[in-house]
A = this chain, B = another copy of it.
Amino acid sequence: MSKEFRISVKKKVNLSNFDPKDTGRFQNKDEVAKEIKELEQELQELQEKLIAGKEHAVLFVFQGMDCSGKDGVIKKVFAGLNPQGISAHSFKAPTEEESRHDFLWRTHHAVPALGQIAVFNRSYYEDVLITRVHGKVDDAEALRRFKHINHFEALLADNGVKVVKLFLHISKQFQLEKLISRIEDPSKNWKFDPSDLLERKSWKQYSNYYEELFEKCSKASPWHLIPSDNRWYRNYAVLKIAVEALRSLDLKEPPANPELQQLLAEIKEAEK
């Protein structure tokens, strides 16, 4: 499955070749309900091993157009995990202090320590997306940034941090329906951000820049393209990729410490 949606470095991706409504070999969510239960359980067990072993870390990077469901999928897939082993970070427009640092500074600070999982809701990839659309970063600078990103992700990999990158792929129509529902449903008004309407006008440009970064930044860690017009399938696919990422670390139970046995006799004697 995660191979199915993995983007190969070699060939240029054309996003319009990927159907955002794709649901793989499944027709509806009932067909994945049982597997989801099992995967959720497995993810929890894998996380406990990750925490105990302190030899690996996993960073999940979520990107996608506005309304693609980053918040929703993060909640759905990662609630259930031990909060002491996971942290989520949402990156908005940089603060003034952050702007006076290199573009990787603020995200570097938030990468997971060994034993931990971190989830990025948007990331340093915005620094080759919205900044380009807004004309703050030109093509030459974007090329340099692609390189810096690859080096940064290689550094993380060298330190035991597995970087799992997920693009939530929605259709332009899906976004429109979401935006309208945020206006029509008064309880969702607080989620509506007028700037989303503005960014929507640059849909094509965003798509092009995404296609370029998929091509240029899949060296140290591949991108996964998640068809996300169907919420249930999006959640299932991300959960499956998350489990497979942790499985791939081949996490071991922490070793027993035979020296402790001697201590046991002493403790029992002392407490008599």
Closest 6 pairs between A and B when the two form their complex, measured CB to CB: A186-B256, A190-B254, A189-B257, A83-B88, A75-B82, A84-B88
Given contacts A183-B261, A194-B263, contact A90 B84 (CB under 8 A): yes
Q: Which residues of A, 174-210, contact B by the 8 Å Cβ criterion?
A: 176, 179-180, 183-184, 186-187, 189-190, 192, 194, 197
Residues in B with CB closer than 8 Å to A256 are: 186-187, 189
Across the interface, A78 reaches (CB within 8 A) one of B83, B197, B260, B271, namely B83
B84 touches A260 (CB 8 A): no
Given contacts A74-B84, A264-B180, A267-B179, contact A190 B52 (CB under 8 A): yes
Give Cα A264 to B177, complex, Å.
11
Give Cα A3 to B44, complex, Å.
34
Residues in B with CB closer than 8 Å to A74 are: 82-84
Quickly give the copy total for this chain: 2
Residues in B with CB closer than 8 Å to A52 are: 190
Give Cα A40 to B256, complex, Å.
35
A71, A189, A253, A267 — which one has the most chain B CB atoms within 10 A of its CB? Answer: A189
Residues in B with CB closer than 8 Å to A271 are: 176
Given contacts A184-B264, A256-B186, contact A83 B84 (CB under 8 A): no
Give Cα A176 to B271, complex, Å.
9
Q: Does A79 contact B (CB under 8 A)?
A: yes
Give Cα A180 to B267, complex, Å.
8
